[in-house]
Chain A
Amino acid sequence: MHDPPSTEQRVLAMHNISKDFPGVRALDHVDFSLHGGEIHALVGENGAGKSTLIKVLTGIYACDEGCIELDGREVHVRSTRQMQDLGVACIYQELNLIPHFDVAQNIFLGAEPRGKLGLVRWSEMYREAERLLGTLGVSLDLRVPVRKLGFGQRQMVIIARALLHNPTIFVLDEPTAMLTRAEIGYLFGLLERLKEQGVGILYISHRMEEVFEIADRVTVMRDGKNVASLQVAETNPDQVISLMVGRQLDDMFPKTDLEIGPQLLAVGGMGDGALVQDVSFEVRAGQVVGIYGVLGSGTAELAGMLAGDRPLAAGKMLVRGEPTTFRSPHHALRDGIALIPKDRRDEGLVLSFTVRENMTLAGLGRWVSAGLIRSREEKAVTRDQIEALNVRTYGAEQVVQELSGGNQQKVVIAKAMLSQAQVYVFDEPTRGVDVGAKIEIYRLISRLLQGGAGVILFSSELPEILHITDRVMVMFRGRMVLDKLTQQTDADELLMYALKGEASETDVS
């Protein structure tokens, strides 16, 4: 371990932290420490355990094993409130603001200066808010409702609220994902000042250039483990990226050489007028097309458009050579395009439904005559599918809510298969499932390909993209900035394009 020079200034130490979720070990004996006056970056791919670690730290989750020390004293975390009182402040990706409250009201929410009878001392509150924003160097109209503010301004309101309690530990979870360049520069200036005041800053990001711009130390997480904690000065982006990416997936994904078949889907000049612009590509039978991009790059919106969930403002689509338009997912399914959504529980499944009811929902019309479901056939089909996909369940009549993440995902895939789709749009198919289920899902994808289907894979996991896809595209700010055969590219190049939209000078040489 690369240990700090002295333990006196260590404001946070997490020892041996483990956390299990049904079917997944999210944190596996993680050690982590943070010093006062230090910016410590925490990097790793999605699902590596970064968010879980900070949720343990802020008291949202209780850890199953391990202990947390603040300023050298062990604390037993009971609530978020307790951790706030102990000086842990956290800025989450979703900004928790009351939309119709103004800036000052939001800053002081839950901590209003009170006078007699619980009356709020408004003038004091506005004065204090003014002062606080002044120390942050921010000028905001205190009386504007926050719903009228931009994202960067809202984030400043959240930061001001967090600093109200003079935290000793300040956690930021991917704070720059939605910020403009200028706003990022502004935020970094602020973090530098806090650092000078001795605040320990835990900065979560997957943007290498930011980490190397601002952090003093970097901890890399992968598969719920702390892979390495390094001094930034002693490492370089390449080393960090290779630590993040880690293991090889070659043996996980049984790549059989398939004949690339006829074109199944082609899109040209597709855009939604805002977040996606001028996207063109095609998918052929037996082919996996990977689409990679960071949060906010337009990948989520593109997936929605392909599935008929978001309207097209521009461009055209061809399904097996025929022009078509989707007004709803119904039409996409009719044309044989099925989405396996990112969020299983919110978008993929009716949790109160049984395995059978979920599996047959999208293709229900196949087993209906005169409006009635031919239930014997439905049951037989479901049984076959459970067996074929190796879904671990008590039976077709088990409620899907009770299944583990990987098995739920298989039910969602089975649903798409039973709708007789020919193009499968996978949106982060392996997020939150364990390694075993991951391999099974890859095998399923492989089987779909052998059956003559085409796959579009949206993923933020580079190994997945690199080892499964035949062709890979990178999105940056709504545009396709890279389109290559997967064999001809590598993780560094994809990451570079995803983060910057172009290759850096060093890369060109």
Chain B
Amino acid sequence: MKSNENVRRGAGDLIARYGTLGLMALVCLFLAISVPAFIQPSNLFDVLRQVAVVGIMACGLTYAVAAGGFDLSVGSVAALSTVFVAWLLVRNVPVLAALLVVLAVGAACGWANGLFCARLRIVPWVGTLATMLAVVGPQFMLTGGGSQIPGGLGPKQPLMDFLGKGFLGPVPVAALVMLLVAAVAEIVLSKTALGQHMYAAGGDRVAAETCGIDSRRVLWLAYIFSGVLAAGSGLLMAARMGLGQVRIGEPYLMDAIAAVFLGSTVIKEGRPHILGTIVGAIFMGIMFNGLTLLHTPYWGFYLFRGIMVFAAVALSGFRSR
């Protein structure tokens, strides 16, 4: 029995693996030529800082998709955590405690998604949509019906400022946080048995179960990770804006979806993975930066998001149920 080693190195395969990367490079080249401000290091670092929020959120979504689910609630959960952390900080809760509580709330949202989609076996799109809608309620509850928590993040918060706006040398702290989170996420997803089992459950649930993998538990955990990371991205969002705002996270959902699906076409074709997701998120950030530099009006971003999701999904070959 001979393996078809040489087939694997075929040209078609190269395009599949690196085609998206090439496309991204072309876009960057175009931007660099047409908008000189684009390649300024300060601008590039700024892109990275902006990417951090989407990047972390998309890492969470990567887990849900890898395990065979989906998570439409990530944007909403992030918005909830901006509001909740602001609410806590305004009430003089110590920063670290506030951060932990918010992450725990994110985990709880993920747990609920797991309950709906892994336990009750509701289709992930509908189950997580319910969570997405539900967490809008608590946001307004905390603001008392307004759109923001009055008082920003309360008294001066050095840690939050450092996370959201700080720099280490030329590098924004937020970008470093994203890279750290991504590194951990990558190790868990691709180096541990748990990550293997997530991929297995997402690849073929029946096959995974015949090998003794508890696919329900694995999927449930993936939703919890997704919830925690969504909450984390919300914290970064709050730190950057210096306030908690209702429904601020929803547009990021699209960016995260696009990042995950673009990412799944990069290097390891065909399945979502963290490195690809980060590449996808950075690409989305560059595109947005370019659109801003080209003075695209606000509605243009919505159209762009929709089109990017079509393109990413079509590229990744993610097909109908």
Contact = CB atoms under 8 A, between A and B. Distances in A.
B193 interface: yes
A118 interface: yes
B19 interface: no
Interface string B201-220: 00110111011110000000
Contacts of B271: 100
Contacts of B4: 144, 148
B200 to A, nearest CB: 5
Given A98-B200, A118-B194, A110 B212 contact: yes
Contact of A96 (B191, B193, B197, B210): B210
Contacts of B1: 138-140, 152-153, 156
The 9 lowest CB-CB distance pairs between A and B, nearest first, are A110-B211, A96-B207, A141-B3, A98-B203, A109-B211, A118-B192, A110-B212, A112-B193, A96-B210
Interface in A55-91: 80-81, 84
Contacts of B207: 96-98, 109
Contacts of A156: 1
B192 A119 contact: yes
B168 interface: no
B124 to A, nearest CB: 19
A1 to B, nearest CB: 33
B270 interface: yes
B191 A109 contact: no
B196 interface: yes
B206 A120 contact: no
B212 A148 contact: no
A110 B199 contact: no
B3 A144 contact: yes
A119 B204 contact: no
A101 B190 CA distance: 12
Given A100-B203, A101-B200, A111-B211, A148 B8 contact: yes
26 contacts: A84-B212, A97-B207, A98-B207, A99-B203, A99-B204, A100-B199, A100-B270, A105-B196, A109-B207, A109-B208, A109-B211, A109-B213, A110-B212, A110-B213, A111-B211, A114-B193, A118-B192, A118-B194, A119-B187, A119-B192, A120-B191, A139-B1, A141-B3, A141-B5, A148-B7, A153-B3
Contacts of A120: 191-193, 196
Interface in A288-327: none
Interface string B1-26: 11111011000000000000000000
Contact of B196 (A80, A112, A117, A144): A112
A281 B205 CA distance: 43
A206 interface: no
A284 interface: no
A109 B200 contact: yes
Contacts of A141: 3, 5
Contacts of B196: 105, 109, 112, 120
Nearest to B2: A139
Contacts of A153: 1, 3
A344 interface: no
Contacts of A100: 199, 203, 270-271
Contacts of B8: 144, 148
B192 A117 contact: yes
Contacts of B208: 98, 109-110
Interface of B: 1-5, 7-8, 187, 191-194, 196-197, 199-200, 203-204, 206-208, 210-213, 270-271
Nearest to B211: A110
A493 to B, nearest CB: 35
Classify the secondary structure of B's interface with A.
Answer: helix
Nearest to A96: B207
A156 B203 CA distance: 20
A161 interface: yes
Contacts of A101: 199-200, 203
Contact of B197 (A84, A110, A148): A110
Pick the most buried of B1, B194, B204, B212: most chain A CB atoms within 10 A of its CB. B1
Given A140-B3, A144-B4, A161-B211, A97 B204 contact: yes
Contacts of B5: 141, 144
Contacts of B194: 118
Nearest to B191: A119
A81 B2 CA distance: 33
Nearest to B3: A141
A101 B213 CA distance: 15
A161 B4 CA distance: 21
B206 A96 contact: yes
Contacts of A80: 210, 212
A161 B1 CA distance: 18
A170 to B, nearest CB: 15
B12 to A, nearest CB: 13
Contacts of A112: 193, 196
B4 to A, nearest CB: 6
B67 to A, nearest CB: 12
Contacts of B7: 148
Given A114-B192, A119-B193, A144-B3, 7 more contacts: A81-B212, A98-B203, A100-B199, A101-B199, A110-B208, A119-B187, A122-B191
Nearest to A138: B1
B271 to A, nearest CB: 6
B204 A96 contact: yes
A256 to B, nearest CB: 47
A80 B214 CA distance: 12
B112 to A, nearest CB: 25
B151 to A, nearest CB: 41
A77 to B, nearest CB: 15
Contacts of A111: 211-212
